Amino acid sequence: MPASNTPQGAAQDDDLVFADETPAIASDGGHAWRVLIVDDDADVHSTTTFALGSLEMHGRPLAFLHVYSAAEAKAVLEREHDIAVILLDVVMEAPDAGLHLVRHVRDTLGRHDVRIILRTGQPGYAPEMDAIRGYDINDYRTKSELTRTKLYTSVAAAIRAYEQIHALEDSRTGLAEVVRANTELMALHSVGEMTLGILREVAALAGQLADGLLCACPPGAASVAWHVLASCGPSAELARDGMLAAGADGPTAALAQALAERRNLYHDDHLALYFPGKAHADFAAWVRLTRPLDDMRRGLVDVFTSSIAVGLDNVALMTDLHRAAFYDPLTGLPNRTRLVELVDDSLQAGADATLCLVDIDQFSETNDALGHQFGDALLVAVAQRLRARLDAGLALARIGGDIFSLLGQADLIDPAAMQDLFAAPFSIEGQDVQVSATLGLVRLVEHDGNAGDALKDADIALKRAKSQRRGGHFYFSRGMGVEIRERVRLMHALRTGFARGELFLAYQPQVELAARRAYGAEALLRWRTEDGRFVPPDRFIPIAEYSGLIIDIGAWVLREACAELVRVRAAGYLDFTMSINVSQVQFRHPHFIDMLRQALDDTGAPPERVELEITESMAMEEPDLLIERLAEIKRTGVSIAIDDFGTGFSSLSYLQRLCVDRLKIDRTFVTEITDAARGSSIAEMVIELGRNLGLSIIAEGVEDERQAQILQTLGCPLAQGYLFARPLAPSALIEWLASDARTRAA
């Protein structure tokens, strides 16, 4: 294109700005738009640079690269990745060298951003349009057609297209960046980590180093100072003691404005970002900028702040939840969950640590007597004293109502010193309260298992300590663990055994002493395991109680014994009474009466022929519940006996208030009767007591004739024991009853 063809003072495109002087070729390749001129005619190179040299777009000049063949162009394009436009001659070393290059750029190099303007020397010469259609060519002109103005317009349009392609590409990767940042931040659970992360991500979006602060701004606090949640870079120095003080200008003013306008504010040298909080305070960030953000980056920051606001709110909530999950609200100490974590850490570190549970003795009595508020105050006082007096290296926690725990280096935990801390009384609401503590300890080095197991072991040791002496302590030993594991094993075996029908009832006859005739029988639970071994009830019943299995088992016993009663009656023994043992746990169950009624209804057993045995120790606990329960039972028509009588400490007045029908003299007192040293005093007393209270008496464990004689002489009407019969299988019971009847008939 000859220079003379170029019209002077060409109409200026909106995007084209001509510099006053003839510009030098931009040396700042990074900042200029780079244009590659590919033409085998040197004149074309000079006229093009002359025509376009002064063009600027968005403040950026053009920089030209010159090559004279398609082959050279290939080499340059492989090296240079930021070429915006190629001005390409179609005919060079070969008639279609230009078109080949186009194909190479798009297909081989995979370069889709670079814009291509094709030029051909001969007017009317048209390359195969089909061949180039697919190659995203910006313009196709004959050289004579390309006047200076047209060339400007064409190149300017190409550069604008190139810029848009890049903006789209940037915003796509920018959005992907926002999504990634968002996802990563959401995974952080602490406010500190997350807020710092936000500052870093904003800086990354702005393409600079993080430099700013993020504050929590509770409504109405604008005029005072804000709590700085995170800060980084030189801006960190703006915060004093974690607070950002109010100021008429500078960061605080910018933050106040963003909060007031509820939006992000963009300035050339800083940003004030607003994060709306839902449940809590709003959040705002101030970020120093090294250069202004373009529209696209602002858009991305807007998207980021609005999406992250939800996460900030969650994380604030999470902090609250974390507190609730790991700390005891009353004392502010770590709770059980947190202790488990701490023990786990100790175990993993293999530290020579001891875990010590501290149980406040008689706390529930104090609580009941003086009220919960007083009890709470006592716990707080205990927590404060322990915290103040114990070594700071020990972790203190409150893991249950009145149970504290200590965890730390074994040599820092001394049981005697611990108990000394309770020597002085606690002053609560102006009163001196004296309490003691019982300790259960476990040495973690001797422990195998996880933190939960260690805690269980410490609890076992505590229970053992309590069973011995209040105010004492006990270290867990492996032997205790073995015993517990055996019990757990037995518990599983009992559960499956019960389901498989390994439990059954034996019936031990009870007789009228004077006539020696059958009166009834006591149903006694038996467990024969799969391998034919018998597990004694004294062993498995406590386990059934402990595990709660006794509820189902007990209900089954009630039904089964009632059914047996009905069978015995059907065999003709109508004045036969069935005694059924009831465990304490079962008795306290809220549906116990329903279970009893159900058993009676389902089997059709007459209630007046059914007797329940409760133990004396049980009769002493929770008197009010017991009195009410017994009255309810009486209303069903069933009678009640107190088992193992004489082993407990029932008071006379209390006994009178219970609706019971019979006392069962414990076997130990029956055995004593023939013992020269001890004699029959207790048995006598019980019989006398029964007479005075109008209660019937039965003696259990009668093994020989002399015992029977003495009891009869003392006025005991009924007895049970090996002398008369062992516990019998149902068929044997019927046989026993038949032979008993025959004996009397004879």
Residues in 637-676 at the binding interface with ligand C2E, rule: CB under 6 A: 643-644, 667
Among 138, 581, 639, 680, binds Mg ion (CB under 5 A): 581
Rounded (10°) CA dihedral 451, 453, 454, 458:
140
- CB of 178 closer than 8 Å to CB of 303: yes
- Closest CB 631 distance from ligand C2E, rounded Å: 21
Of 279, 226, 288, whose CA–CA distance to 252 is shortest? 226
- For residue 32, what are the contacts with CB-CB under 8 A and spacing of at least 6? 26, 60, 61, 62, 63
Q: Is 616 in the site for Mg ion (CB under 5 A)?
A: no
* 560 touches, from ligand C2E, Mg ion, none (C-beta below 5 to 8 Å by class): none
**Given the structure tokens 């003379």, which residue do they identify?**
4
- CB of 77 closer than 8 Å to CB of 66: no
For ligand C2E (CB under 6 A), the number of binding residues is 24
Residues in 486-545 at the binding interface with ligand C2E, rule: CB under 6 A: 508, 523-525, 536-538, 541
Q: Is 727 in the site for ligand C2E (CB under 6 A)?
A: yes
Which H helix or E strand runs over 76?
helix 70-79
Residue closer to Mg ion by CB (options 577, 581) is 581
Of 700, 506, 520, 525, whose CA–CA distance to 610 is shortest? 520
- CB of 579 closer than 8 Å to CB of 522: yes
Residues in 568-587 at the binding interface with ligand C2E, rule: CB under 6 A: 581-583
Largest Cα–Cα distance of the chain, in whole Å?
153
Give the SS3 label for residue 32: coil
- Closest CB 666 distance from ligand C2E, rounded Å: 7
C-alpha 302/C-alpha 297 separation (Å) is 9
- Closest CB 644 distance from ligand C2E, rounded Å: 6
C-alpha 574/C-alpha 571 separation (Å) is 8
* 139 touches, from Mg ion, ligand C2E, none (C-beta below 5 to 8 Å by class): none
Residue closer to Mg ion by CB (options 400, 537) is 537
Q: Which of the ranges 287-295, 360-368, 435-443, 610-618 carries the binding residues for Mg ion, by CB under 5 A?
A: 610-618
- Closest CB 508 distance from Mg ion, rounded Å: 9
- For the record, the structure tokens of 202 come out as 């904003």
Q: Is 643 in the site for Mg ion (CB under 5 A)?
A: yes
- Closest CB 681 distance from ligand C2E, rounded Å: 21
C-alpha 62/C-alpha 46 separation (Å) is 14
Among 89, 359, 402, 613, binds Mg ion (CB under 5 A): 613
* 536 touches, from ligand C2E, Mg ion, none (C-beta below 5 to 8 Å by class): ligand C2E
Q: Is 644 in the site for Mg ion (CB under 5 A)?
A: yes
- For the record, the structure tokens of 204 come out as 């990354």
Among 557, 619, 697, 714, binds ligand C2E (CB under 6 A): 557
* 85 touches, from ligand C2E, Mg ion, none (C-beta below 5 to 8 Å by class): none
* 163 touches, from Mg ion, ligand C2E, none (C-beta below 5 to 8 Å by class): none
- Closest CB 682 distance from ligand C2E, rounded Å: 16
CA dist 562 → 79, 503, 555, 601, 741 (Å): 98, 16, 11, 10, 22
Residue closer to ligand C2E by CB (options 367, 720) is 720
**Given the structure tokens 């195969």, which residue do they identify?**
128
- For residue 218, what are the contacts with CB-CB under 8 A and spacing of at least 6? 280, 281, 282
Residue closer to Mg ion by CB (options 441, 518) is 518
Of 488, 504, 497, 503, whose CA–CA distance to 547 is shortest? 488
Residue closer to ligand C2E by CB (options 557, 718) is 557
What is residue 104's DSSP assignment?
Answer: I
Binding site for ligand C2E (CB under 6 A): 508, 523-525, 536-538, 541, 557, 581-583, 613, 643-644, 667, 700-703, 720-722, 727
Tell me which residues touch Mg ion (CB under 5 A).
581, 613, 643-644
